[in-house]
Structure 1
């Protein structure tokens, strides 16, 4: 049986499709694959996205540390990538992940989006699952 095989122009030609910003970054929305819940927003450069594909785990570019950041390197809360998508403008990446330990946020919550606007005030509405001082010893 002859099955046509798609051969990429180059090993990294898919990276060229991404609309990188002036700093060489692209925003990344990270979503829990099983539930669809949005866990966090982070940034990637070319190397981070390429390594994410190669290793199968979420690797971001930390703007505050100015270096690659393997999610879970300090906390153990690794994100195993199940699917990667690119939006219609090619300027936002979506990662669908399996979140290890159920904690994505450095505050010890499941999601970084734990604050809700209520009567003009941001209220923390999701519980801390593990105290940050217990995560980052």
Structure 2
């Protein structure tokens, strides 16, 4: 494939498995929803189809968020980090982002880290 989409994909530093971490964020509230993995084809689909597609490392297949649950992620923007080895996908999340049914995969999973400014959790 050649063209503007391929040029954008070529800027990504995929790991030795051909994957890149994709952080999914609600576009308006900036809430971090989840992290998934993409290969070049999943990224191409995400950038050109308007819905987020991931590569499942466990099932070894593509999956599009919401195809079975109805909890879709509509793409609103995409950015590459400064090293090219992580992607931020801004979405309009419809329903829960996490497979457990919570809004975000980070709900209720606090690791109780010490606050670096001296506050206690």
Equivalence for 1:26? 20
* Count of aligned positions: 110
Aligned pairs for 1:57-96 (under 5 A) are 57-96=51-90
Equivalence for 2:116? none
Deviant stretches of 4+, over 3 Å: none
Computing the radius of gyration over CA atoms, which structure comes out larger, 1 or 2?
A: 1
CA distance in 2, matches of 1:43, 1:61: 6
State TM-score, norm by structure 2.
Answer: 0.87
Question: Any stretches of 5+ residues in structure 2 without a counterpart?
Answer: 114-121
Equivalence for 2:103? 110
Question: Any stretches of 5+ residues in structure 1 without a counterpart?
Answer: 1-8, 120-137
- State the shift of 1:105 in Å: 0.4
CA distance in 2, matches of 1:41, 1:97: 13
CA distance in 2, matches of 1:22, 1:44: 13
State TM-score, norm by structure 1.
Answer: 0.77
Match for residue 36 of structure 2 among 16, 34, 42: 42
- State the shift of 1:118 in Å: 3.7
CA distance in 2, matches of 1:29, 1:86: 10
CA distance in 1, matches of 2:74, 2:37: 17
CA distance in 2, matches of 1:25, 1:83: 20
CA RMSD of aligned residues (A): 1.3
